[in-house]
């Protein structure tokens, strides 16, 4: 599943002068180039400075296994996701190895129909958009609503390398209205079997970082970067998710924003439609729309 969690950085640790290996050792995101991406470097420096003294959470891992059918590559979920389950923004190009964004965790409510539970998830991810791409490396927040006990919601952090199941990070607090930063990265071009997920909760001032390996027979292609709200049938009403500071990096260390991104709209089988609007080069807004237009 995931490797052992990193250790907290010592008080005198200088992330600006640290090696990439030292940053990974202490669970910190990789450092952008000061010369090639000064704006991204400034954002990174501000965040890692804030992280000094913050609580590094060591979560436990819970596999979320909702789908009763086998999750094999033969199911070719990439096609289904692209056409029905994804709403957000996507850059389809080669070769991405990092994607990140900020957003505010929504408070979910029940969706359409009479069900036991409704589900939704906001995330940043790599791969899965192209028709010949059969994996998705992703991480973000989940927002589910349950009918039992007069109705209640659940929000949580998670990561996934599809076709393996989604993994909930138990013990890492994520609540509605919390502001989070999420980053997913691969180790391309060195190793297409390694991935990592970093999440920082600005509101609680807690963070965690973990690395993990691809499922058997799967490798990272880096053929798309995405900012997505995915609705698993039946989809929870998440109202609005606004992805801010949307950035992705290629293996050549060049950074990209949404200026070259396309939007995708989800249409679930129950008629729920979710739309996406790119507001500016770094912001995409995803809205739960309810019923499909007649």
Please give the pLDDT value at position 67: 54
Residue in this structure with the two tokens 């959470």, named with its chain if needed: 57
DSSP symbols for 73-138: GGG-HHHHIIIIIEEEEEEE-S-EEEEEEEEEPP--B--SSS-SEEB-EEEEEES--STT---EEE
- ∠ CA 271-273-275, nearest 5°, is 170
**pTM for the whole structure:** 0.92
Residue 70 has pLDDT above 70, yes or no: no
* Alpha helices (H) along the chain: 20-25, 38-51, 77-80
Q: Which residues contact 123 (CB under 8 A, 6 or more apart)?
A: 138, 139, 140, 141, 158, 182, 184, 227, 228, 230
Please give the pLDDT value at position 2: 62
Displacement of CA 271 from its chain's centroid (Å): 25
CB neighbour burial string for 182-219, b if at least 16 within 10 angstroms, e if fewer = bbbbbbbeeebebbbbbbbbbebebbbbbbbebbeebe
Residue-wise pLDDT tens digits, 196-246? 999 999 999 999 999 999 999 999 999 999 999 998 889 999 999 999 999
Active site residue 50: no
Structure tokens given for 145: 């609503």
Exactly one of 100, 160, 183, 230 is catalytic; name it. Answer: 230
Residue 81 has pLDDT above 70, yes or no: no
Give bridge partners of residue 242 from the DSSP assignment. 285
Structure tokens given for 241: 């998710």
Please give the pLDDT value at position 8: 85
Out of 117-121, 268-272, 289-293, least confident range: 289-293
Structure tokens given for 26: 């202490």
CATH superfamily of 59-291: Peptidase G1 (2.60.120.700)
The full set of domain ranges for the chain reads: 59-291
């Amino acid at each position: 599943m995931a490797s052992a969690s990193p250790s907290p950085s010592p008080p005198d640790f200088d992330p600006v002068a640290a090696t990439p290996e030292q940053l990974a050792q202490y669970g910190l995101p990789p450092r952008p180039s000061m010369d090639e991406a000064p704006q991204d470097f400034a954002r990174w420096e501000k965040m890692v400075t804030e992280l000094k003294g913050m609580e590094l959470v060591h979560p436990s891992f819970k596999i979320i296994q909702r789908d009763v059918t086998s999750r094999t590559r033969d199911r070719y979920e990439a096609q289904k996701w692209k056409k029905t389950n994804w709403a957000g923004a996507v850059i389809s190009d080669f070769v991405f190895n990092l994607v990140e964004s900020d957003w505010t965790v929504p408070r979910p409510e029940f969706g359409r129909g009479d069900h036991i539970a409704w589900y939704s998830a906001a995330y940043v991810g790599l791969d899965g958009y192209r028709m010949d791409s059969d994996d998705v490396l992703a991480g973000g927040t989940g927002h589910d609503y349950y009918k039992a006990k007069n109705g209640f919601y659940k929000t949580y952090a998670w990561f996934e390398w599809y076709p393996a199941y989604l993994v909930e990070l138990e013990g890492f607090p994520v609540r509605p209205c919390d502001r989070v930063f999420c980053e997913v990265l691969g180790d391309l071009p060195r190793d297409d079997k390694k991935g990592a997920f970093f999440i920082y909760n600005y509101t609680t001032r807690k963070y965690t970082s973990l690395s993990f390996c691809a499922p058997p027979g799967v490798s990272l292609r880096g053929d798309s970067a995405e900012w997505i709200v995915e609705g698993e049938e039946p989809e929870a009403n998440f109202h609005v998710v606004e992805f801010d500071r949307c950035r992705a990096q290629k293996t050549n260390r060049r950074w990209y924003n949404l200026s070259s991104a396309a939007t995708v709209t989800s249409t679930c089988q129950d008629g729920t439609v979710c739309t996406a609007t790119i507001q500016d080069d770094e912001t995409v807004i995803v809205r739960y729309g309810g019923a499909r237009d007649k």
